[in-house]
Structure 1
Amino acid sequence: MDKSKQRALTKWLKSQSVLAKPWLVATIGIAFTSGLLLIAQAALLAHLLYQLIIEQADKYSLLPSFIGLGAVVLLRAACSWAKERTGYRCGQTIRHHIRQLILNRLHELGPVSIQGRPAGSWASLLLEQVEELQDFFARYLPQMAIAVLIPVVILVTVFPINWASGLIFLITAPLVPFFMALVGIKAADANRKNFKALQRLSGYFYDRLRGLPTLRLFNRTDAEAEQLHLASHTFRKRTMEVLRLAFLSSAVLEFFTAISIAVVAVYFGFSFIGELNFGHYGAPISLFTGLFVLVLAPEFYQPLRDLGTFYHAKAQAIGAAESIVEFLDAQPDTGTQGQETPDLEAVTITARDLEVLSPDGHVLAGPLNFDVKAGEHIALVGVSGAGKSSLLNALLGFLPYRGSLVVNGCERRALSLTHWRQAISWVGQNPQLFHGSIRDNIALANPDATPESINHVMTQAYVDEFVMRLTDGLAHPVGDRNGGLSVGQAQRIAVARALLQDGALWVLDEPTASLDAHSEQLVNLSLHTATQGKTCIQVSHRLDALDNCDQVWVMADGAITQQGKFKDIAAQGQLADMLASADRRNLDA
């Protein structure tokens, strides 16, 4: 990663800290207070040792100093606790905000863009990589200010007492951040590679785990296990490289800190035996001065050492932020900017020279010209890849387009997508249910739906046929990938969900493609009743049911090649070929 990109990512990370500025300021303020208490602690400790060793003072006469020292220690402990709490809240606030940014962008991009990457990589982006930003905001950013404030306060305290030790501090202090930066540049690049390897491993593992039955049937489990082993080995190497650089950074910082403290100790040692006679202001160096400065010496470098330790957190954050920023900056034009909210009680659609585009701008379908009247039923047919799903995705607002696509007199890209989608009831060929109960899945679009409404749509979708046989009824839990339910049962729940939405436009993407005969019959009955009087666009693989539609559109290579009533176009063109092919398959069966 080049330096300009690192600077840009660091700038982006710092810009996010504005959201948690009160927590950040509180963390720095508490740490500064702790630094002042540290100086008081060093002074009390040096005073007690000087009085006990040199002045031979009675220990009972020093009781106030002992009490003061204990109180300072307790106050510093309280400051450390409070600093950790406020630092954590700072990081937590920003992590929540960044996760919300990612979720909002996923919502804007829609399923077409999301399906372009493995599910595991999204999980890694949203969970692990955002989590790696915590220490940057909770520790590194506050420490940047603390690493300046505390040493300056100590220098201001030490210079009036002994300018030589203050000069040693001043000269040796820059060595720590200098070598920290040298190691940190390499660490940032190692973290970036580590996160890339983690994304690949997460996506690979999730996809293979989901497809384990298929791998077993094709006897590919051993081969895929070997590939998974290689991917995990790569990730292990990347992780060990990051740890190696982290330990190297700590070792370098400890080395230069120890050297600097040793120089201060040697100076005072030679001063006490009379070999060095400079650094003071005329008065001889006392044990109090030496102890006071030597107690402060490790604490002078400690903020810099902590900054070096947390510099690894900065490297982690930069590595994690690269993928996050790339994702947030990728903004395909899906037409999400609209604010228009026309009346959608009845839906009409008009397209002129419509070209549906992929998120990166390639033409997927078009140019298309068509008119859909209110209450009209349209059947879309064609081979796989003909452009049917692309057209539906443009209509739903998941894909950008060129040309004109007008809904109720308003250009679709000018519509408020929230308002538009509230008028759509959608049923796809692969029903997606979520963790929760059957009731939760039916009431997805309307969590406040009354029991009467839910029972009504259950009856319409024939969900009650199998729910009554379940011990828990509507409270029956739904597992991952519709676990515990058959495909037909899950599809009937999806139809009930669409019925509860009660949209003016029904979009059906082969809703019976994966069903058995019994479930297909029930779902078709439900949909036929539900779409009466509603505008409906349906992708269909059942050519024998097309005569019930007002229009049939035959698509091929992204274009509508035939358009009209089924009886008018069934004997010619591509539709005739498709019907003949279907008849041959039925005869062969």
Structure 2
Amino acid sequence: MGKESKKTQFKDAADLLRQFSLHGKRENRLSILLGLLQIAMTILFAFVVADILDNALFQPEKTLPTAQVWLILTLSLLTKAVATYMQNNIANQASIKIRSQLRQFALNHCFTLNIRLFPRFKTAELSNLLSTEINSLRLYFADYSAQKYLAVLMPIAVIIAAATVNWLVPIILALTAPLVPLFMILVGKKAGQASHDNLQQLNRLGNLMSDRLKNLQALQLAGTTEQEADKLFQKSESFRETTMKVLRLAFLSNTILEFFSAISVALVAVYLGLFFLDKYQLGSWSDDLSLSQGVFLLMLAPEFYLPLRRLGTLYHAKADATSVAEHLLTLNKLASQVSSNELNLEQQPLPKIDSLQLDTVQAGAKERPLHTPISITLEMKDRVLLNGPSGSGKTTLLDTLAGLYPLHQGKIKLNEVEHNIYQHPDWQQQIGYMTQTPELLFASIRENLCLGRDFSDETLFQALKDAQIEELISSLPGGLDYIISDQGGYLSGGQAQRIALARVFLHKPRLLLLDEPTANLDEATAQAFMLQLAVYVEQGGILIMTSHRPTDQHFFNKVITMQALGESHE
């Protein structure tokens, strides 16, 4: 499925749903066969019951059903019940299998795209897609996929059965049948648009909630929590209104289907009533129509419309599925726009970093680089200052050197050999990168430091000591097992940054990229931190760092001066 997620192209949302439905093709076929078995048992039951009523009420010599007749009735009912039970189970299995494939499809794209998911997709939006939205497809794959075929095959079976005793009733059924899908489609289009709007409101509400919770401390300091709470309430009300609109349309659809089904059944009943009153002799293959045949036809009429009504009640599931499929198409389109070179699909192993050479390197988007070309050779133990005015592309260059973005132009050589480092796991295992806003996990401090590897408490506290935060961690409840959020919890920005620095020291990368690491530190702590950086470099490593502190300038032995394109050289 991984390869499919990268190569498969879909014409539209319906094509995506159709192709993924193939994963449950066997189950759907079996479900259709079980549906046909049910209608066969229904026809048999109607025939036997009609014959019983005819013998008991209409024939001159009234007879009661024999044991054989009762056995046939019982077997038909039991067979139909078992078939229904098996159909539901098989349909649910198909739905689970297909939704699992869809979720894997979406996850593969997420892993492939990496940070290119953003800002097109937000965290809350992806969470909704992988959980709520894909789960909402249960009815579509479990019931609708098979029912759209049964809505054709089952009425045909009823028409064939009815045609054995009368030719006019099948015509009445066939002529009135299009009314049900016609109005189902008309209402369904409105329901589809309402479902799409409802999904958008859910994503907007999730994004807003995620953003406000992430910045709750800033809102509290600004004293705007009440205003933001009002905005959240307004968004939740918008979501409630769109949800109720979807429900209203669903109820309207059911009402219309019931109305036209009732009218159609009434037409058959009126025809049979007038026939038995000798108002006409039209429709029967013979000159007469027995009570048995009339009851048989009357019992079949509701069964003719039942599959269509079921399909109508499931039409909102199709509308929901189309909305979700369009969301998945956006993800697929985003992945297809990334070339195979950018994805580094055939990645070659990278050597251990001993030297790093930047040859006329420019960072930035495909359309426009941000700065003038940079050429420099870095050896182990080099301390490099990345210098330049705001907007010259320093952070973007660090992102590019971290392998998060492809190069706009130029070459990066490791040990004098050119390599593509974009999203390369071998590269990212050798580097450490700390941005101005450090990324932390919603987990314990220990888990934030270890990142899946095993370290002793002594080693962890040494790394915390190097980052000047050992005393604070020791004072927290639980120490290393204290839980923090992805934004640092109740820790200050500088404290969260120092935990991220401790993580860098702990993993001892060959190349260390730091973006203003001392910006939130006081002078004494910043000096102590720079001393620890000196120890790191002397142990064998390359440091590239941005800093605006004048006292930090003497620390570096090399400087890369950044200059934005369009600026004049002085």
- TM-score, normalised by the number of residues in structure 2: 0.84
| 1:437 alignment partner, one of 444, 459, 475 | 444
Cα distance in 2 for residues equivalent to 1:517 and 1:80? 75
Larger deviation, residues 137-146 vs 328-337: 328-337
Q: What's 1:343 paired with?
A: 350
Would the aligned equivalents of 1:347 and 1:407 in 2 still touch at CA under 8 Å? no
Q: What's 1:366 paired with?
A: 371
Q: What's 1:24 paired with?
A: 28
**1:459 Cα deviation after fit:** 2.4
Would the aligned equivalents of 1:461 and 1:526 in 2 still touch at CA under 8 Å? no
Cα distance in 2 for residues equivalent to 1:196 and 1:423? 41
2:187 is the alignment partner of 1:180: no
Q: What's 1:354 paired with?
A: 361
Q: What's 1:3 paired with?
A: none
Q: 1:378 to 1:424 in 2, by over 3 A?
A: same
| 1:151 alignment partner, one of 152, 155, 158 | 155
**1:309 Cα deviation after fit:** 1.6
**1:390 Cα deviation after fit:** 0.9
Q: 1:158 to 1:305 in 2, by over 3 A?
A: same
- TM-score, normalised by the number of residues in structure 1: 0.82
Q: What's 2:5 paired with?
A: none
Unaligned 5+ runs, structure 2: 1-9
Q: 1:329 to 1:7 in 2, by over 3 A?
A: closer
Would the aligned equivalents of 1:344 and 1:504 in 2 still touch at CA under 8 Å? no
Mapping of 1:257-406 within 5 angstroms? Answer: 257-282=261-286, 284-331=288-335, 333=338, 335-358=342-365, 361-363=366-368, 365-375=370-380, 376-406=382-412
- Match of 2:562, SS state, is strand
2:488 is the alignment partner of 1:482: yes
Cα distance in 2 for residues equivalent to 1:40 and 1:529? 88
Cα distance in 2 for residues equivalent to 1:518 and 1:66? 95
RMSD: 3.4
Q: 1:295 to 1:432 in 2, by over 3 A?
A: same
Q: What's 2:106 paired with?
A: 102
**1:38 Cα deviation after fit:** 2.6
Would the aligned equivalents of 2:387 and 2:546 in 1 still touch at CA under 8 Å? yes
Q: 1:414 to 1:29 in 2, by over 3 A?
A: farther
Would the aligned equivalents of 1:340 and 1:414 in 2 still touch at CA under 8 Å? no
Mapping of 1:416-435 within 5 angstroms? Answer: 417-435=424-442
Would the aligned equivalents of 1:336 and 1:397 in 2 still touch at CA under 8 Å? no
Q: 1:218 to 1:441 in 2, by over 3 A?
A: closer
**1:202 Cα deviation after fit:** 2.6
Q: What's 1:456 paired with?
A: 459
**1:105 Cα deviation after fit:** 3.2
Larger deviation, residues 528-537 vs 151-160: 528-537
2:555 is the alignment partner of 1:548: yes
Cα distance in 2 for residues equivalent to 1:151 and 1:348? 75
Would the aligned equivalents of 1:355 and 1:364 in 2 still touch at CA under 8 Å? yes
2:80 is the alignment partner of 1:76: yes
Query: 2:464 is matched by which residue type in structure 1?
Result: A
Query: 2:377 is matched by which residue type in structure 1?
Result: V
Q: What's 2:4 paired with?
A: none
**1:314 Cα deviation after fit:** 1.4
Cα distance in 2 for residues equivalent to 1:75 and 1:437? 57
Cα distance in 1 for residues equivalent to 2:445 and 2:220? 31
Q: What's 2:3 paired with?
A: none
Would the aligned equivalents of 1:406 and 1:412 in 2 still touch at CA under 8 Å? yes
Larger deviation, residues 189-198 vs 123-132: 123-132
Cα distance in 1 for residues equivalent to 2:327 and 2:493? 36
Cα distance in 2 for residues equivalent to 1:517 and 1:70? 89
Q: Deviations over 1:247-304 (max 9, x none)?
A: 3322222222111111111222222222232333227322322222222221211111
**1:329 Cα deviation after fit:** 0.7
Number of aligned residues: 551
**1:391 Cα deviation after fit:** 1.0
**1:517 Cα deviation after fit:** 6.0
Would the aligned equivalents of 2:371 and 2:392 in 1 still touch at CA under 8 Å? no
Unaligned 5+ runs, structure 1: 1-5, 563-572, 574-589
- Match of 2:487, SS state, is helix
